[in-house]
Amino acid sequence: MKNYLSLIKFSHTIFALPFALVGFFLANYLEGKTPDVVVLLCILLCMVFARSAAMAFNRYLDRDIDALNPRTVVREIPAGVISAKSALAFVIVNSLAFIATTWFINFLCFALSPVALLVVLGYSYTKRFTALCHFVLGLGLALAPIGAYLAVTGRFDTLPILYSLVVLLWVSGFDIIYALQDEEFDKSLNLNSVPVWLGRRGALQLSNVLHLICGLVIFYAVWSVNSVPSNSSGEASDFGILHWIGVSVFIGLLIYQHTLVKVNDLSKVNVAFFTTNGVASVIYGSLFILDFFF
């Protein structure tokens, strides 16, 4: 179990999960519903199954590449800890479990489940032909808030799409930073990434722009939540100070991570990638949910 959790980097679930919960509680608020524990459980299971399938498939597909990269040669498949055949079986089981779980949510989620899998599994191929691979990864994680909203309401709406756009911009921006570590290696194998395409300085500048837009969008999303009436009361939202503190911390940490990584110093990439972004997501999601209840 420990090896498989390491294979899929289970701890990285922390990035998208809080935004899935934001989508869930936002939908319940706007619909005037009491949160359904069964639906919430199904959403959490979908998150785990889809992400496990996506990460394991990425490791399976990249096993030969990982074996050549000094940074990734210790991963489970090239290191021989988990066989490629077992990893592929793990992908199939999790994909089927994801689709099966959506059946118990509603028909729209079930009908769209293959599309979601196509996005999250398809990402693994993209660096072979496009530098926009970071945006496909961002799109995969951006399905979390809109997917959770669909699970509650069974329809699309503007607000959860705004939150999905936040996740798309945020994840794409920090994945570009993370990819700086493999710039030279990717060039040697003709793999594509923004650092390969634009160089280190250009990649950091694009990441800055993406996170700037992300900050503006999440600010607008929070303002929009506070101006949309709930179906239960017909009055504008009473989300308060906690919500605004959450978005302020999130934007502040976006800015902070860009002070950690320099064109000539990548020593703090992992701090910027995991610690800063994980904390940003958890704090924002937690304060959103606390504001929902209190």
Residue holding tokens 């929902």?
Answer: 292
Contact (CB, 8 A) for 18 and 281: yes
**What pLDDT is recorded for position 241?**
86
pLDDT at 216 over 80: yes
* pLDDT for the residue 243: 87
Q: What is the pLDDT of residue 230?
A: 58
CB 96 within 8 A of CB 80: no
pLDDT of residue 1: 80
**pLDDT (0 to 100) of residue 224:** 87
pLDDT at 174: 94
Chain segment 164-206, per-residue pLDDT in tens? 999 999 999 999 999 999 999 999 999 999 999 999 999 999 9
Measured CA to CA, the distance from residue 160 to residue 150 in angstroms comes to 9
Query: Is residue 30 predicted with pLDDT exceeding 90?
Result: no
Q: Tell me how far the alpha carbon of residue 287 is from its chain's centroid.
A: 18
Give domain limits for the chain: 2-293
State the Cα torsion 141-127-73-281 to the nearest 10°. -20
Per-residue confidence (pLDDT) for residue 225, from 0 to 100 = 82
pLDDT band at 293 (very low <50, low <70, confident <90, very high): confident
pLDDT at position 234 is: 53
* pLDDT category of residue 40 using cuts at 50, 70 and 90: very high
* Residue 47, helix vs strand vs coil: helix
Nearest-angstrom CA–CA distance, 24 and 31: 11
What's the mean per-residue pLDDT of the chain? 92
CATH of 2-293, one of 1.10.357.140, 3.30.390.50, 3.30.70.100, 3.30.300.10: 1.10.357.140
Gap between the terminal Cα atoms of the chain = 38
Task: Write down the pLDDT at residue 120.
Answer: 96
Element (H, E) at 252: helix 241-260
Give me the count of residues in the chain.
294
pLDDT at 232 over 60: no
Element (H, E) at 39: helix 37-61
The answer to whether 67 touches 73, Cβ cutoff 8 Å, is yes
**pLDDT tens digits, 54-105:** 999 999 999 999 999 999 999 999 999 999 999 999 999 999 999 999 999 9
- Could you tell me the pLDDT band of residue 132, with boundaries at 50, 70 and 90? very high
Percent of the chain as helix, strand, coil, to the nearest 5: 75, 0, 20
Among the residue ranges 28-37, 111-120, 160-169, 265-274, the one predicted with the least confidence is 265-274
Judged against a pLDDT cut of 70, whether residue 233 lies above it is answered with no
